[in-house]
A and B are shown apart, each in its own frame.
Chain A
Amino acid sequence: MKTVDIVERIEGEAKLVCQWEKNKISDVRVEFLNFRGFEYILKGKAPLDALVYTPRICGICGQAHLKATVEALEQIYKNHNEELIITNKAKLLREVGLNIEIIDSHIKWFYMFIMPDVVKFSNNDYSEYKALKGKKWLEASACASEVIKVLAIIGGQWPHTSYMIPGGVVSDPTLLDLTTMQNYIDYGIKFFENNLVGMEIENYLSFNEAEDLYKVKADLKDFITLSFENGFEKIGKSYNRHLVLGSSLSFEEGKINKKLIKNIDFENIEELSLNTFNIDKSKNSKDAYTWSKSALYANNFYETGPLSRTLVQNRKFISSVHKHYKDSMFTRVMARMDELGFLLKKTKELIKRVDISEDSFIKPKISINEFKHGLAEVAVEACRGSLYHEVEIEDGKISKYDVITPTVWNLGPGIDGKLSTSQKAIIGTNSIEKAKLILRSFDVCSVCTTH
């Protein structure tokens, strides 16, 4: 039997085509059928224009794209032995911006994309989680609106800002601005404490074993209870291979394929398009069914995202939960919410470290257009996982721009008989509702996946 279902309430839409055998999903295809063509549009453009284009790849993770672009352009300077000086202040303001975007996304993801489906598994009254109307939904929306102002103060607007430029950032916050930013972060911390975990953040962050799950209160407790009632800790397991391409003050790079390896080599990244539509229809392969490509590291599919980051960093609470429940749908959701707490605290510290007497920007000695040829590969950690940008310039123009988004790692099609991360996670599931939840646990974004 074959079923076709549509997954909405993600960014864009995904089509879930399942084959069923003995009431279990025996094969699955995740199809993304919306395409814009950023990589074609960027070709021939001035390199600095990419700072305005790439954030528009996604309305949710635009900061991650901006940071990847700016670091790629700086990499080109470095490769010409003209390394730019980026002050600590600029580095901090960039990372604060990116972290805030992740924080904002995690809040909305839990309340707007996950919980409305999770509560459908219960007969009890969870109407407070109802989309658009429920008290909890509205409170989460209000909190996200407050927290994102931290980014608006230094970025000017959100979504889609371009305040980072090669050499630093354009913004120059005052002490008052920094205090205001901390106040908005405190709003987020209060929300985390009062609404999500029902205890002080320090208390929560001191958890170090899976048994601490039972101490969690408030909304996250609702999720934990519903999960154990419905066996969410048993579904959605994939290869349990994890990849973190980006490193920063908040995250460490590394990969786990049975054991943890801390150094990452971009040489091992491969992007394939056997199942991908071609922009020139006459060149479509007969196996093409989606606009997403497939991404492999050292010839293997890897999962990327908060769970991978938590494991590579060995943050104890979730690492212990993971020991018990592996890379299940339950662990994935818990890891993302745990990262919310971790980042709220971390980002507040980063803001405190900003020294306003430092420069925000130090002008590059030469224009990037003066390089005849340039090539750069960079990765940053976005809300959904590792984001990779590869840029090539020829005679002052972009000659190639390749983007591999986190959702391509997690949700792209399998290849050469190998199942992709999400396919592996979904196969064996006994209901379409659970299959959709597993898909959501990867934080699906259709527009990122195809870009």
Chain B
Amino acid sequence: MVDSQEMVKKVFTQNSARIDTNKGDAYYNSLFEKAKERLKALRAQPALKDIDMMEVVESEGVNRRDFMKWASATTATLMLPPMFTPLVAEATELMNRVPVIWIELQDCAGNSEAILRSSTPTVDDLLFDVLSLEFHHTLMAASGHQAEHQLEDAMHHFKGKYLLFVEGAIPTALNGQYGTIGPSGETFQEHLARLSKDAAAVVAVGTCATYGGVPAAAPNPTGAVGVMDLVKGKPVINIPACPANPANMVGVVLHYVLTGQVPELDSLLRPKFAFGYRIHDNCERRAHFDAGEFVEEWGDIGAQNNFCLYKVGCKGPMTFNNCSIIRYNEGANWPIGVGRGCIGCSEPDFWDKYAYERPMADANIKAPTGGVEKTVDEFGLGLLTATTIGIGVHAVASAVAGKRTVHSEDEE
């Protein structure tokens, strides 16, 4: 177990998380044909639920045009060219061919809560009417023994076909006695092993399920690990973040429906469409970073003017995630939008590695991605001339104002 955690840290240092956003016409044309075949085959299969997507959409007062707008945005999220938009729309209609079983282990239900408010229009319907959610611990109608039977039925009926969504870490200390489930007292570890055995793929949702998350924070009292530490010989897709962004959960399912395959993953098994770039790359405050304009402390003039939060602890420059584009709660906002800064919640070990007085400490963190994390100044000097000038100007301004000029570990 420890080895694989070490492995995680090692692969994190590689450049494989970078995404190639244009793979060329030949690639996309071939994928397009493949997706068309796939959707045709899916359409020939019986629907698990007899529900017409467009009827659902229209009955909710959303017109075809708005729906296509959504499909177009989702196509962009999946990093596919616009020609895929009609196929994505069609895939949405065929989501009822893919059964989903969702289980909760050592969790706080935060990801379930997040998906309850998934992206509009009417993606509640997408998920709950069209997507065939065969089992969900917290949301389903059944409870007690009836629920147990429902789970058994779903596993048996959709053997080898269902996507298993896992929320929560798995405690391994004390033979798994920190977490048991069901009347028989099966440990979470046994439960995961039994349910993943016949799954088509396992989707780990949230930082607990991917890397062990909060429960695995030092001293990891329950020996918590993530899904990929235990499930072998089976595709595992990680959708980290705390909570994971519902748009990415929907994206993974859509991609699977569209292509019959798991999306392209990085070395941490994260879909590249969502984790192929850093928050910093698309941050709305990025211009202020480049101009050397920083919030020095909460509530200052910089904070009032939405300056860059790097100096008050923002981990955006070393955090791979698309939340700077997707945002949260149907795009209502995101942490950086309110001036709090990113805490790096989609990165492994972020609880310990990025912790120190998060989110308000000086951002003097050594993340292994190579880049901004050194210090603002080193980064500026090394990589961006414009930024260096910006920071130079800023440093002078700070000095005049009698404030700290640079960050270094010796300070304070």
Q: Which residues of A contact B (CB under 8 A)?
A: 4-13, 15, 33-38, 40-41, 44-46, 48-49, 51-53, 56-60, 62, 108, 112, 116-117, 130-133, 138, 141-142, 144-145, 148-149, 152-163, 165, 167-168, 170-172, 279, 281, 359-363, 436, 447
Contacts and interface: CB of A to CB of B under 8 A. Distances in A.
26 contacts: A6-B148, A8-B138, A8-B143, A8-B147, A11-B108, A15-B183, A34-B188, A40-B219, A53-B351, A56-B214, A56-B242, A59-B114, A145-B329, A148-B117, A148-B329, A152-B328, A153-B332, A158-B113, A159-B108, A160-B110, A162-B359, A170-B299, A281-B177, A360-B303, A361-B303, A363-B299
B356 A46 contact: yes
A13 B109 contact: no
Interface of B: 104-114, 116-117, 124-125, 128-129, 133, 136-145, 147-148, 169, 171, 174, 177-183, 185, 188, 214-215, 217-222, 224, 242-243, 297-299, 303-304, 328-330, 332-340, 343, 351, 355-361
Contact of A59 (B106, B110, B332, B334): B110
B137 A156 contact: no
A307 to B, nearest CB: 23
B121 to A, nearest CB: 11
A41 B111 CA distance: 21
Nearest to B105: A34
A447 B356 CA distance: 26
Contacts of A156: 328, 333-338, 340
A41 B183 CA distance: 29
Contacts of B299: 167-168, 170, 172, 359-363
Contacts of A131: 139-141
Minimum-distance CB pairs A-B, first 9: A59-B110, A361-B299, A37-B221, A157-B328, A145-B117, A131-B141, A156-B335, A171-B338, A152-B329
A108 B343 CA distance: 28
B357 A46 contact: yes
Contacts of B112: 59
B146 to A, nearest CB: 9
Contact of A361 (B136, B188, B298): B298
A13 B328 contact: no
A133 B128 contact: yes
A52 B359 contact: yes
Q: Which of A153, A159, A362, A363 lies at the interface centre, i.e. has the most chain B CB atoms within 10 A of its CB? A: A159
A423 B79 CA distance: 54
Contact of B109 (A59, A148, A163, A281): A59
A159 B243 contact: yes
Contacts of B185: 33
A112 B204 CA distance: 24
Contacts of A141: 116-117, 124, 128
Contacts of A56: 108, 110, 214, 242
Contact of A48 (B111, B116, B138, B360): B360
A59 B337 contact: no
Q: Which of A6, A8, A155, A168 lies at the interface centre, i.e. has the most chain B CB atoms within 10 A of its CB? A: A8
A130 B142 CA distance: 10
A59 B137 contact: no
Contact of A363 (B104, B148, B297, B335): B297
Given A7-B144, A62-B110, A436-B144, A157 B356 contact: no
B364 to A, nearest CB: 14
A10 B139 CA distance: 8
Q: Which of B215, B221, B337, B351 lies at the interface centre, i.e. has the most chain A CB atoms within 10 A of its CB? A: B221
B358 A52 contact: yes
Contacts of B114: 59, 159
Nearest to B356: A46
Contact of B298 (A7, A33, A363): A363
Nearest to A166: B360
Nearest to A291: B178
Contacts of B177: 281
B108 A58 contact: yes
A369 to B, nearest CB: 8
Contacts of A52: 343, 358-359
B143 to A, nearest CB: 5
B373 to A, nearest CB: 18
A161 to B, nearest CB: 7
A281 B174 contact: yes
A144 B116 contact: yes
Contacts of A9: 137-140, 142-143, 147
Nearest to B206: A59
Q: Which of A157, A159, A167, A362 lies at the interface centre, i.e. has the most chain B CB atoms within 10 A of its CB? A: A157
B108 A57 contact: yes
A350 to B, nearest CB: 18
Given A13-B137, A59-B113, A447 B338 contact: no
A171 B111 contact: no
B343 A13 contact: no
A34 B335 contact: no
A52 B341 CA distance: 12
Nearest to A13: B181
Given A59-B109, A363-B298, 14 more contacts: A4-B183, A8-B147, A60-B113, A117-B143, A131-B140, A132-B136, A152-B333, A159-B108, A159-B114, A165-B360, A170-B298, A170-B338, A279-B221, A436-B143
Contacts of B356: 46, 49
A40 B113 contact: no
B355 A132 contact: no
B211 to A, nearest CB: 14
Nearest to A150: B332
A108 B355 CA distance: 33
A169 to B, nearest CB: 8
Contacts of B336: 156
B143 A48 contact: no
B328 A5 contact: no
Contacts of A145: 116-117, 124, 329-330
Contacts of B219: 40-41
Nearest to A108: B116
A444 B107 CA distance: 15
A448 to B, nearest CB: 9
B179 A35 contact: yes
Given A7-B143, A9-B138, A36-B214, A170 B303 contact: yes
Contacts of B169: 36
Q: Which of A36, A112, A148 lies at the interface centre, i.e. has the most chain B CB atoms within 10 A of its CB? A: A36
Q: Which of A53, A132, A165 lies at the interface centre, i.e. has the most chain B CB atoms within 10 A of its CB? A: A132
Contacts of A162: 335, 340, 343, 359
A63 to B, nearest CB: 12
Contacts of A4: 183
A33 B108 CA distance: 14
Given A40-B221, A52-B358, A162-B340, A144 B140 contact: no
B319 to A, nearest CB: 14
A12 B144 contact: no
Contact of A132 (B117, B141, B218, B334): B141
Nearest to B114: A159
Contact of B139 (A12, A36, A132, A171): A132
A132 B128 contact: yes
A303 to B, nearest CB: 23
Given A361-B299, A363-B298, A153 B333 contact: yes
B107 A37 contact: no
Contacts of B188: 34
